[in-house]
C-alpha cells in the first residue's frame, strides 16, 4: 500500500471534469499545483471518446513529470453514484460511466471520485476562504447552482452523498420549472441558465436589476440554510457570482440578514471563494489525499494544512 509519510515530494494527480473543459494537475501535499493542463470536453454522446480525451490529458501531464503520483482524485458534476459511477447531467456522453474503475485499470493508482461541489468545499476549507472554519457552505453560482456543506469540521454526505445541494432549495413557491422536476428552485430562478432563459441574454450582459434579483434569491436560500445549519461562513464561487461581483454579494448579504433573524445566524459571513480558477483542481487533489486516508498526516505535521475530514 501507499506510504503515509508526509513528504513534500509526494504528488497526486487531480482531474476536473467539466461540461466544456477538462483540467488536470499534479498537486502536492500542501495543495500547491506543480503542473497543470487542460483541454476541451469533446461534444457528442460517445463515452469512449470522452474517456480518451481524459487519458490523453493525464498521459501528457505524467509524461512531463518524472515523479509518480500516489493517487488520483476526480471532481465531477453530479450525480455521482457511490464514488464510482458518474452520470453528469450536463455531459450526455457519460451515463452510469464507471469512471473510478476505468481510471484505476488504466493508471493503477488508488482513485477517488467526488461531486465537484463537495470537492470545492474541501478545497476552500483546505486552502481557500474557509480555512480554519468548521461550519460552512461552499456553493457555486454558475450555469447551475450547487454546494457542499461542512459541519463540525466534517464534509456532510447525507443518505446518498448529495447533502449540501443548495441549488434546489425553493425560493419562489410555484415558480419556474426546474431541471429536477420541481418548481421555483434556486437553480431555476438564479442560475446562469435561468438568467439566460428569463432575460434572453447571457449573464455577462445582465442588467443591475437582474444582478440584484439574483443576489436576493441566493440570499433568501442562504437565510434558510444558515438558520438550519448554524454556519460560520458561506463561500460563493462560480462565474455568475464572481462575474456579478460586489452588487451581487451585497444583495445576497442584505437578504440573508433580512430573513435570518435568529441570534446565532447574525454572525454568518458571506465571502467570494478564495481559490478562484484553481479551486476545481485543488478540490480534486483534496479528494485524492483525503481518500488515501492521510488524515493522520494532515494533523500530525504542522506543515500540512488541515483538510476537512
Ligand atoms: Zn430543482
What is the per-residue pLDDT across 156-171, written as a single tens digit (0 to 9) for each? 999 888 899 999 999 9
Q: Percent of the chain scored above 90 by pLDDT?
A: 80
CA of 64 to the centre of ligand 1 (A): 42
Domain covering 11-116+277-300, topology: Nucleotidyltransferase; domain 5 (3.30.420)
Q: How confident is the model at residue 300 (pLDDT cuts 50, 70, 90)?
A: very low
pLDDT the model gives residue 301: 42
CA of 180 to the centre of ligand 1 (A): 4
pLDDT the model gives residue 302: 44
CA of 189 to the centre of ligand 1 (A): 9
Characterize 201-215 residue by residue with b for buried, 16 or more Cβ atoms within 10 angstroms of its Cβ, and e for exposed: eebeebeeebbbbbb
Q: What is the pLDDT of residues 201-237, one digit of tens each?
A: 999 999 999 999 999 999 999 999 999 999 999 999 9
Q: Are 173 and 268 in contact (CB under 8 A)?
A: no
Q: What is the pTM of this model?
A: 0.90
CA of 298 to the centre of ligand 1 (A): 37
Which uninterrupted H or E stretch holds 17?
strand 11-17
Q: How confident is the model at residue 247 (pLDDT cuts 50, 70, 90)?
A: very high
CA of 249 to the centre of ligand 1 (A): 22
Q: What is the pLDDT of residues 46-83, one digit of tens each?
A: 999 999 999 999 999 999 767 789 999 999 998 898 88
CA of 52 to the centre of ligand 1 (A): 32
CA of 182 to the centre of ligand 1 (A): 5
**Helix ranges restricted to H, 133-278:** 186-190, 192-199, 208-229, 239-244, 246-259
CA of 193 to the centre of ligand 1 (A): 12
Max Cα-Cα span within the chain: 57
What class has domain 129-274? Answer: alpha beta
CA of 235 to the centre of ligand 1 (A): 21
Q: Which three cell numbers stand for residue 186?
A: 434556486
CA of 150 to the centre of ligand 1 (A): 22
Q: Which three cell numbers stand for residue 234?
A: 458561506
pLDDT the model gives residue 89: 84
pLDDT the model gives residue 180: 87
CA of 194 to the centre of ligand 1 (A): 11
CA of 208 to the centre of ligand 1 (A): 25
Q: Are 190 and 141 in contact (CB under 8 A)?
A: yes
CA of 91 to the centre of ligand 1 (A): 18
**Position with higher pLDDT, 274 vs 306:** 274
pLDDT the model gives residue 5: 53
Q: What ranges do the domains of the chain cover?
A: 11-116+277-300, 129-274
Cα 183 to chain centroid, rounded: 24
CA of 43 to the centre of ligand 1 (A): 25
The dihedral built from the CA positions of residue 121, 122, 126 and 128, taken in this order, carries a sign that is negative
Distance CA 70, CA 72 (A): 7
C-alpha neighbours within 13 Å on the C-beta side of residue 183: 5
Q: Region 112-131: what's the mean pLDDT?
A: 95
Cα 63 to chain centroid, rounded: 28
Q: Do domains 11-116+277-300 and 129-274 have the same CATH topology?
A: yes
Average pLDDT, the chain: 91
CA of 287 to the centre of ligand 1 (A): 26
CA of 145 to the centre of ligand 1 (A): 10
pLDDT the model gives residue 304: 53
Amino acid at each position: 500500500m501507499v506510504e503515509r509519510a508526509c513528504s513534500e515530494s509526494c504528488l497526486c494527480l487531480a482531474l476536473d471534469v467539466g461540461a466544456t473543459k477538462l483540467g488536470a494537475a499534479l498537486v502536492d501535499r500542501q495543495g500547491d499545483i506543480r503542473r497543470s493542463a487542460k483541454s476541451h470536453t469533446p461534444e457528442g454522446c460517445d463515452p469512449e471518446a470522452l474517456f480518451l480525451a481524459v487519458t490523453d490529458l493525464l498521459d501528457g501531464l505524467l509524461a512531463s513529470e518524472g515523479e509518480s503520483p500516489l493517487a488520483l482524485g476526480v471532481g465531477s458534476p453530479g450525480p455521482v453514484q457511490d464514488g464510482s459511477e458518474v452520470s453528469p447531467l450536463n455531459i450526455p456522453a457519460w451515463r452510469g460511466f464507471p469512471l473510478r474503475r476505468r481510471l484505476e485499470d488504466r493508471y493503477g493508482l488508488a482513485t477517488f471520485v467526488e461531486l465537484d461541489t463537495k470537492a470545492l468545499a474541501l478545497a476552500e476549507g483546505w486552502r481557500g476562504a474557509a480555512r480554519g472554519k468548521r461550519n460552512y457552505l461552499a456553493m457555486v453560482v454558475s450555469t447551475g447552482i450547487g454546494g457542499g456543506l461542512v459541519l463540525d469540521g466534517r464534509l456532510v454526505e447525507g443518505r446518498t452523498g448529495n447533502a449540501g445541494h443548495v441549488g434546489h432549495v425553493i425560493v419562489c413557491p410555484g415558480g419556474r420549472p426546474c431541471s429536477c422536476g420541481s418548481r421555483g428552485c434556486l437553480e431555476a430562478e438564479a442560475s446562469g441558465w435561468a438568467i439566460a432563459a428569463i432575460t434572453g441574454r447571457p449573464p455577462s450582459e445582465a442588467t443591475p436589476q437582474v444582478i440584484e434579483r439574483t443576489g436576493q434569491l441566493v440570499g433568501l436560500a442562504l437565510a434558510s440554510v444558515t438558520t438550519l445549519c448554524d454556519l460560520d461562513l458561506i463561500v460563493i464561487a462560480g462565474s455568475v457570482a464572481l462575474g456579478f461581483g460586489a452588487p451581487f454579494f451585497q444583495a445576497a448579504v442584505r437578504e440573508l440578514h433580512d430573513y435570518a433573524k435568529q441570534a446565532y445566524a447574525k454572525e454568518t459571513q458571506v465571502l467570494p471563494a478564495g481559490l478562484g480558477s484553481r479551486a476545481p483542481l485543488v478540490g480534486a487533489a483534496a479528494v485524492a489525499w483525503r481518500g488515501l486516508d492521510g488524515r493522520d498526516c494532515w494533523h500530525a505535521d504542522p506543515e500540512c494544512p488541515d483538510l476537512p475530514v
